[in-house]
A and B are shown apart, each in its own frame.
Chain A
């Protein structure tokens, strides 16, 4: 079945460091891909998405490019801030009769001042 694999956390970075969180997927067909962020004590929020190969999703300085050839959707940010500390979830939706998002296990990011 469809699945999402994220890099294990936690990830600890200093402020202004470069961030990469790896995400790869397995899916039949052509899924839509998403990154969600969960701040402490809150629900998940959609961060960005891409619906077809080579699309780049971006928001709040974060970017991810849908790579069909490597089945990847890695999340990147050039300069992280303390306020980016959160748990990040990669997810896919393969559509069809399923309809529900399949989430990775999440990667906790801590940014130190």
Chain B
């Protein structure tokens, strides 16, 4: 199993541009999570899906952030327009069931200049 696959690994973009982060969960996992990690705030849950349905998006900071999961093998996190304060490492994780622990991807390091 290739694990949770995120792309790109690094993204540098200019303020105001649209950014799309991608995630492929482990096959058979029904839950998918998007996290953001910064030095100041630590690890923050942005949104999670169960069976492709968004369950809790209360962590999404603003309307500029949106996430989709069109099928069981793919999810996107979009920021439009991006701002310098969005600079962070964004992690995707998946799990087979609640309570069983997650498998994390390697993350996307986003820099907005």
Contact = CB atoms under 8 A, between A and B. Distances in A.
A82 interface: no
Contact of A34 (B42, B55, B101): B101
B43 A93 contact: no
Of the listed residues B55, B98, B103, the one surrounded by the most CB atoms of chain A closer than 10 A to its CB is B98
Interface in A72-99: 89, 93, 95, 98-99
Nearest to B97: A99
A105 B39 CA distance: 10
A58 to B, nearest CB: 15
Contact of A100 (B56, B103, B105, B107): B56
Interface stretch (A10-18, A19-27, A45-53, A60-68): A45-53
A43 B102 CA distance: 11
A5 interface: no
Contacts of A93: 98-99, 101
Interface of B: 4, 31, 33, 42-43, 45, 48, 50, 55-56, 91, 93, 98-99, 101-107
B56 A95 contact: no
A77 B104 CA distance: 24
A99 B48 contact: yes
Contacts of B104: 36, 43-45
Contact of B99 (A42, A44, A89, A95): A95
A7 interface: no
Please give me the 6 A-B residue pairs with the lowest Cβ-Cβ distance, nearest first: A43-B104, A99-B98, A44-B104, A46-B101, A105-B42, A93-B99
